[in-house]
Structure 1
Amino acid sequence: MNDLDLDSLLGAEDDEGPRRRSRVSSRSSRSRSRRRQRRQKRKGFLAFFVAVIIIAGVLGVGGYYGYNWIRDVAVPKDFTGQGSGEVLVEIKAGQSATEVAQTLVEQGVVASERAFVNAIGAAGKSASLQPGEYKLRKGMAASSAVPLLDPKRRLQTTVTVREGLRLSQVLEQLSTATGRPVEDFRKAARDREALGLPAYARRLEGFAFPATYEVSPKSSPDDVLAAMVTRYKRAAADADLVAKAKRVGRTPLEVMTIASIVQAESGSEQDMPKVSRVIYNRLNRTPQMRLQMDSTVMYGLGKFGIAATHEELKSKSPYNTYARLGLPPGPIGNPGDHAIKAALEPADGTWLFFVTTDPKRHITKFTDSEAEFFKLAEEFNKNHGAG
């Protein structure tokens, strides 16, 4: 074997070695690559699995709350049954059904606003809610609460104060209607500031306006009497009292005093402007005439009656218009709209006297003659004695 052949053999071995090592290295690289791919796949799967769990959790929680929300909207929370205990609920003027529902929820009457709104809507009574106080129970089904808010079930007491009553009579009536001591009303009647009396009113007499009032169990005597003064102010504004008092040459207090006498002395509404004219004619006459009204004398004595006795006419009271000139110190009762209007707008006439000749039939006759007056007085005595 020559040198060339030997070199060839050696060269052949050297060439084979690198190729063998290359194949081994390639297989190792592929193996590592596959392992990396497997690890990456495992990590990717794990990440995907975790993501799926998180998404499922989020969807589950959201679904739970979403379900509850939908359920609450579709089927609002509500109690069952008639409830128990006693709750006093006040509906204020102008409140909507939703606002009333809020009050009921706050006081534990119904479980949710929506339940009540749905129930009262289904009953067709959303527009029938009226202000006042109502007695309900805690934990009621909304459908059971609705009937208890019927206006007929309000706890208010209705009090109708008629025209011409004296303040003492009004306070007695209010005491009886509310069950509160009359002394509480008397005390409240003396608080001019709390009552909101107009500046020209010396006291409540004459300004406790006759009307129908609804008194709630929570109303204090101050509240009730203040409401009557407020009602008077509205009537005075409607009658334009202050401006018209100036036109007839009198103060607002004098007009109200005249109105109270008109109310007490008139046999009917139609007679009021004429009675008013007699009062003005006597006051404006020169020399001035005494009014000589039995109603004022009886008021000063704290008595009731349509004709004062000879002995009663000797009274030293400032309300004795037989003994004193001019008007008494203030109203002798609480006049209504018609009497106030008559005091501001007396009828035209020259009458100086009037006599209710037939009290039972409310017949009153007017004259400017003293001689005629005595004849009318005899007619009264005859009819009054016969009765």
Structure 2
Amino acid sequence: MNIEDLLRETLSDMAHEEQPPPPGRFLHVNGSRSRRRGLALAAAAAVTVLAAGSTLAVQGLSSRTAAPEVLTGQGSGETRAETRITVTVNEGLRLAQVLKDLSTATGKPLEEFERAAKDGGALGLPAYAKGALEGFAFPATYEVSPTSSPEEILAAMVTRFRRVAEDSNLVDGARRVGRTPLEIMTIASIVQAESHDKRDMPKIARVIYNRLNHTPEMKLKLDSTVLYGLNKFAIKASNEDLKSRSRYNTYARLGLPPGPIGNPGDDAIEAALKPAAGSWLFFVTTDPEKGITKFADSESEFFKLVEEYNKNFRTG
């Protein structure tokens, strides 16, 4: 059942009236009646923006994403040119960065976005997100009305994620590779953070899987997760950083971190679902300035790549 039917059924149940006309195409979801009701109300938040006469457009940043989808309200008579605020959410940004950017672009207090982000149920997050918005604020270019609330804006981003998840068959795809949907989104967020070129994403995803599936299991040892746990931004974690007791310290802990470390785009999600074939256990961005990443399946090859990185870093 899609959101059009979902809204019609829910509103009809609530008002005991004839089914209202379709509100527009939003998203396809499945689930029980009680769960559908919550999702319908979350989707209704996006409809409220439109009913107020605002405009909301969504355009993905990926090369595979279709042309902008524009939803225009009829209520106030305001024109699209008068009302729209364009906000671009870049792939890989952490939620804290996303909320700051939204606050700056809309002029609404950051505290309002932070408060809205904590109410995962109202935003329509899937159950596997476990109430946390990190990883599910889908990166795209959004056009919103100045009257849109933080809740409505964030709900629209979640709606966009759910459509991408449906298109990529996220839930079934996760099952096929032996992972949960949350684990897939966690892997995708790491792939996004570690990639300088989207062509490398499937290979980086393969390295993550190979290390997770290695016997005995290998630690991931990824600087990106360590830095996220410390709320730091850097190219490389320091020796002091690696002593962190954070659950995101993949140098100290086996397995994946507890959740996404940023908000990945659909290329990274696709890579997490369909990693490249290969036996690599290591990757090194040997030339960060040029975005060159190389892969190795032995420690001796890995150390050679590290030497290459050190050489480029010193001369860069």
Q: Same fold (TM over 0.5)?
A: yes
Distance change >3 Å, CA 184–CA 130, structure 1 → 2:
closer
- 1:316 corresponds in structure 2 to 245
Which 5+ residue runs of structure 1 have no aligned equivalent? 1-88, 94-128, 137-147
The structure 2 residue matched to 1:90, chosen from 46, 53, 58, is: 53
Does the 8 A contact of 2:117 with 2:151 survive in 1?
A: yes
Aligned to 2:101: 173
Q: Is the Cα–Cα contact under 8 Å of residues 55 and 144 in structure 2 kept in the other structure?
A: no
Letter of the structure 1 residue corresponding to residue 99 of structure 2: L
Q: Which residue of structure 1 aligns with residue 224 of structure 2?
A: 295
Residues 44-123 of structure 1 mapped to structure 2, 5 A cutoff: 90=53
Is contact 2:55-2:83 (8 Å) kept? no
- SS for the counterpart of 2:264 is coil
Partner of residue 119 from structure 2, selected from 177, 191, 209: 191
CA offsets per residue over residues 307-334 of structure 1, 9 Å max, x none?
1111111111000000000000000000
Q: Gapped runs of 5+ residues in structure 2?
A: 1-51, 57-69
Q: What is residue 369 of structure 1 aligned with on the other side? A: 298
- Structure of higher RCO (CA pairs closer than 8 Å, 6+ residues apart): 2
Q: 1:131 to 1:375 in 2, by over 3 A?
A: same
What CA distance in whole angstroms lies between the structure 2 residues aligned with 1:130 and 1:194?
21
Instruction: Give me the identity figure in percent.
Output: 67
Q: Deviations over 1:76-135 (max 9, x none)?
A: xxxxxxxxxxxxx82689xxxxxxxxxxxxxxxxxxxxxxxxxxxxxxxxxxx9825899
For residues 1-387 of structure 1, the aligned pairs below 5 Å read: 90=53, 131=72, 149=79, 151=80, 153-202=81-130, 203-387=132-316
Q: CA deviation at 1:266?
A: 1.0
Contact kept, 8 Å, 1:167 with 1:334, in 2: the verdict is yes
TM-score by length of 1: 0.62
* Pairwise CA distance, 1:173: 0.2
With normalisation by structure 2, the TM-score equals 0.76
Secondary structure (helix, strand or coil) at the match of 1:258 reads helix
Q: 2:113 is aligned with what amino acid?
A: F
DSSP 3-state at the match of 1:213: strand
Letter paired with 2:107: G
- Contact 2:54–2:144 under 8 Å retained in 1: no
Q: Deviations over 1:302-358 (max 9, x none)?
A: 001121111111111000000000000000000000000000000000000000000
Whichever of the two has the greater Rg, that structure is 1
- SS for the counterpart of 1:224 is helix
Query: Runs in 1 of length 4+ with deviation above 6 angstroms?
Result: 133-136
Contact conserved, 2:250 with 2:256, CA < 8 A, in 1? yes
Letter of the aligned partner of 2:109 in structure 1? P
> Which amino acid in the other structure matches residue 167 of structure 1?
L
Call closer, same or farther: CA 1:254–1:377 in 2, change over 3 Å.
Answer: same
